[in-house]
Amino acid sequence: MAKIVVTGGLGYIGSHTVVELINAGYEPVIVDDLSNSKAQILDQLSKIIGFKPAFYQFDLCDEQKLKEFTEKEPDIDGIIHFAAFKAVGESVQKPLKYYRNNLQSLVNLLSVYSGKAINFVFSSSCTVYGQPDVLPVTENAPVKPAQSPYGNTKQIAEEILKDAIVSGDAKKVIALRYFNPVGAHETALIGELPIGVPQNLVPFITQTAIGKRNKITVFGDDYNTRDGSCVRDYIHVVDLAKAHVAALKLMEGPGFTGYDVFNLGTGNGNTVLEIITAFENTTGVKLNYEIGPRRNGDVEQVWGDVTKSSKELNWKAGLGIDIMMASAWAWEQYLSQNPL
Ligand code: NAD
Ligand code: WQD
Mind listing the pLDDT tens digit for each residue in 103-128? Answer: 999 999 999 999 999 999 999 999 99
Report the nearest-CA residue for atom 27 of ligand 2. 200
pLDDT average, residue stretch 62-84: 98
CB 49 within 8 A of CB 22: yes
In a domain, 261, yes or no: yes
Residue by residue, DSSP assigns 91-107 as: HHH-HHHHHIIIIIHHH
* pLDDT confidence of residue 103: 98
* pLDDT confidence of residue 198: 96
Question: Which amino acid is present at 177?
Answer: R
In a domain, 272, yes or no: no
In a domain, 93, yes or no: yes
Phi, psi of 47 (to 5 degrees): -65, -30
- pTM for this predicted structure: 0.99
Report the alpha-carbon distance of residue 194 to residue 340 in Å, rounded. 12
Closest ligand to Cα 32: 1
Closest ligand to Cα 18: 1
Report the alpha-carbon distance of residue 9 to residue 188 in Å, rounded. 17
CB of 178 closer than 6 angstroms to any ligand 1 atom: yes
In a domain, 205, yes or no: no
The count of domains in the chain is: 1
In a domain, 287, yes or no: no
> What single DSSP character describes residue 128?
G
Å from CA of 283 to ligand 2 middle: 21
Is residue 158 very low, low, confident or very high in pLDDT (cuts 50, 70, 90)? very high
Proportion of the chain in helix, strand, coil states, percent, rounded to 5? 40, 15, 40
Å from CA of 8 to ligand 1 middle: 6
Å from CA of 322 to ligand 1 middle: 25
Our mutation pick for probing the ligand 1 site, out of 31, 123, 298, 340, counting the most ligand atoms within 8 A of Cβ, is 123
Is residue 162 very low, low, confident or very high in pLDDT (cuts 50, 70, 90)? very high
Å from CA of 82 to ligand 1 middle: 5
* pLDDT confidence of residue 195: 87
Report the nearest-CA residue for atom 18 of ligand 2. 218
Report the nearest-CA residue for atom 9 of ligand 2. 180
In a domain, 128, yes or no: yes
Report the alpha-carbon distance of residue 203 to residue 193 in Å, rounded. 8
Residue 53 maps to which CATH number? 3.40.50.720
Closest ligand to Cα 86: 1
Å from CA of 213 to ligand 2 middle: 17
pLDDT average, residue stretch 277-285: 98
CB of 127 closer than 6 angstroms to any ligand 2 atom: yes
In a domain, 292, yes or no: no
Q: Please, which residues bridge with residue 290 across strands? A: 217
Render pLDDT for 249-265 as a digit per residue (tens, 0 to 9): 999 999 999 999 999 99
Our mutation pick for probing the ligand 2 site, out of 214, 219, 299, counting the most ligand atoms within 8 A of Cβ, is 219
The yes-or-no answer on residue 12 being catalytic is: no
In a domain, 145, yes or no: yes
- State the residue range of the domain holding 167: 3-183+235-265
Is residue 1's pLDDT more than 90?
no
Helix (H) or strand (E) holding 10: none
Which atom in ligand 2 lies closest to the alpha carbon of residue 294?
A: 33
